[in-house]
């Protein structure tokens, strides 16, 4: 473990060499414009793939980048980001070769993980007919990963604070996919306003 502390000291030295007030400014507070909700997968580091610095992105990660409205962890992050940090963008970023999605389509019993994976299995149920038309299992999983991002963005839009920020502050919702095989980020270009209009009668803002 010592290598991590060594790496940290080197990083600190490099930052101070470039700017002696770097950490002083970091300690003064944060004002990120983006909330990034991504997967906990060790291969997908938000700051690395986006090329950002500390303080630029508010990050929440969990298995398969889910936004279940019953999870107080993710809901607290969203509330803080939207109501206090006043972020201008929320990104839900999935990635191909996602172990969480692969587990969700497996018939094995994953014990304590089952309730979490059920959120992804619900996406399978919603899009079962189209998923069954995919040419092979890899294509099927990739399509499911994209649908999962779409549905998690939809879950975001069900939240009253998010609806209010979209209407009053111009908050934008984005769905991205990180392709591990190429290293590239892909924008699904979701029409979040149309998505919101489609659910307003069911999930009205209070």
Grouping H, G, I as helix, E, B as strand and the rest as coil, residue 189 is coil
Q: β-pairing, 172-179 with 184-187?
A: antiparallel
**pLDDT grade for 70, boundaries at 50, 70 and 90:** very high
Residues 6+ positions from 89 with CB-CB distance below 8 Å: 33, 34, 35, 171, 172, 173, 174
Cβ proximity of 188 and 176 under 8 Å: yes
**pLDDT grade for 107, boundaries at 50, 70 and 90:** confident
* Predicted local distance difference test score (pLDDT) of residue 27: 93
Write down the catalytic residue from 43, 121, 125, 193: 43
* Predicted local distance difference test score (pLDDT) of residue 206: 67
| 95 has catalytic annotation | yes
In order of their start, the domains of the chain are: 1-29 (no CATH), 31-199 (3.40.1050.10)
**pLDDT grade for 204, boundaries at 50, 70 and 90:** confident
> Which pLDDT tens digit goes with each residue over 11-27?
999 999 999 999 999 99
> Which pLDDT tens digit goes with each residue over 151-202?
999 999 999 999 999 999 999 999 999 999 999 999 999 999 999 999 988 9
Grouping H, G, I as helix, E, B as strand and the rest as coil, residue 162 is helix
| 41 has catalytic annotation | yes
Residues paired with 90 in a beta bridge: 35, 173
**To the nearest whole number, what is the mean pLDDT of the chain?**
94
| 201 has catalytic annotation | no
Write down the catalytic residue from 60, 95, 153, 174: 95
**pLDDT grade for 135, boundaries at 50, 70 and 90:** confident
Write down the catalytic residue from 93, 98, 153, 174: 98
């Amino acid at each position: 473990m010592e290598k991590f502390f060594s790496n940290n000291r080197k990083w600190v030295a490099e930052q101070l060499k470039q700017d002696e007030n770097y950490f002083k400014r970091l300690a003064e507070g944060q004002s990120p414009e983006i909330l990034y909700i991504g997967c906990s997968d060790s291969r997908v580091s938000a700051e690395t793939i986006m090329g950002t610095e500390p303080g630029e992105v508010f990050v929440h990660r969990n298995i398969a980048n889910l936004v279940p409205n019953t999870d107080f962890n993710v809901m607290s992050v969203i509330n803080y980001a939207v109501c206090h940090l006043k972020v201008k963008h929320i990104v839900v970023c999935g990635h191909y070769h996602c172990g969480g999605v692969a587990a969700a389509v497996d018939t094995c019993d994953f014990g304590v993980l089952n309730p979490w994976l059920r959120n992804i299995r619900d996406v399978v149920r919603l899009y079962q007919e189209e998923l069954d038309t995919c040419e092979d299992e890899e294509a099927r999983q990739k399509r499911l990963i994209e649908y999962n991002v779409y549905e998690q963005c939809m879950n975001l839009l069900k939240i009253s604070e998010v609806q209010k920020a979209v209407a009053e502050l111009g908050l934008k919702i984005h769905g991205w996919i990180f392709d591990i095989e190429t290293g590239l980020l892909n924008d699904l270009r979701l029409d979040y306003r149309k998505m919101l209009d489609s659910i307003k009668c069911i999930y009205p803002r209070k």
